[in-house]
Amino acid sequence: MDNLVERFLRYVSFETQSNFSVTHCPSTSGQIVLAEQLKNELIELELVDVELDENGYVMARLPSNVEHDVPAIGLIAHMDTAPDASGKDVKPQIVENYQGGDIALGIGDEVLSPIQYPDLKKLLGHNIITTDGTTLLGADNKAGIAEIITAIAHLKANPDIKHGDICIGFTPDEEIGRGANLFNVEKFGAKWAYTIDGGPVGELEFENFNATSADVICHGVNVHPGTAKNKMINSMNIAAQFQLMMPTEETPECTEHYEGFYHLKSMEPSVAKTELGYIIRDFDREGLEQRKAFMQSKVDELNSSLTKGRVELILTDSYFNMREMVEPHQHIIELAKEAMIACDVKPDIKPIRGGTDGARLSFMGLPCPNIFTGGYNFHGIHEFITIEGMEQAVRVIVKLAEKTSEKYQ
């Protein structure tokens, strides 16, 4: 596992937060800076077909070292970090041989507590990398990048480990749902791939939410409040009425496993116009359509009750459940399971309560399940990862390459 932690700590020092409000790709310049760094590292490893395109996608290939035909497999991770918390000036800390209790983050009062995060109780004796309580860590998904490159370096240094072609892809703007938009599947060259973008050790995922964005736009009329009687229509009041019509028990904080939800994620209020930004999630395509219809019915109901003002709804499908595209290729799931078991990792097959590049790529003809990184609490200041978990991810990647070669021998 030479240089794994050093690589990870170097990558999290790059500010690569993506930006919803920017339309070009990548959405932030910091992603290109990291992409250049990764391109140079892949060249130093003497990989072939190393390329960084104008949109910030990095691709490379480790050539096969066997004589027999083995389908090329892909390993994919994303370079951006989530807009939910700052990724600037990340100051990670390593807690060695964790012995339980609260972990102080930085010099303030912020702590990582096993009361709030019970997973910590399972990690006694582990070496944990945390934030300093002011930014996210960036394990999502720079841990995946570090693990892929470390695994590739290990394969290069140990030619006795047999493998076929391994295609590497690092993508921009995954956190804002655009990571697969300009991904060239044909040029990538893999028959199937794995995103290394999961959470705790053992996670193996090949199904995800169907996802739709819902913009609820409430229109009012702004007039000087001193002369507003019978003239002003405050759109924020209309927006409040709409939000109260949504089911309170079907939100992210009240659901788990295969339960879908409606999530109010943003609000841009003013008297004249208020925009509510929702995301709708459901594992079943029919269930997603029912949720969309429910929101439309509430818009219609509210419009019919308003004497002044109006509400409009804009629905935009984001991605669909990759299960329907991956299930016909069960051997790629079985290979991942075999690799984990061979590394003494118990596969934990579960649905992704979100999306990954793999969901979109699966519908673009590249079946692409998701494998763990060893991280927890992504997208916030309580994000952390264990060194042991990262090392296990590297071992699984190496074993996956070896198992694939053996299967086609």
The binding site for Zn(2+) comprises 78, 140, 175, 197, 379
Binding-site residue positions: 78, 140, 175, 197, 379
Spot the catalytic one: 41, 80, 173, 282: 80
402 is catalytic: no
80 is catalytic: yes
Torsion angle of alpha carbons 77, 167, 202, 174, nearest 10°?
Answer: 20
Spot the catalytic one: 41, 147, 173, 174: 174
Q: Hey, which residues are catalytic here?
A: 80, 174
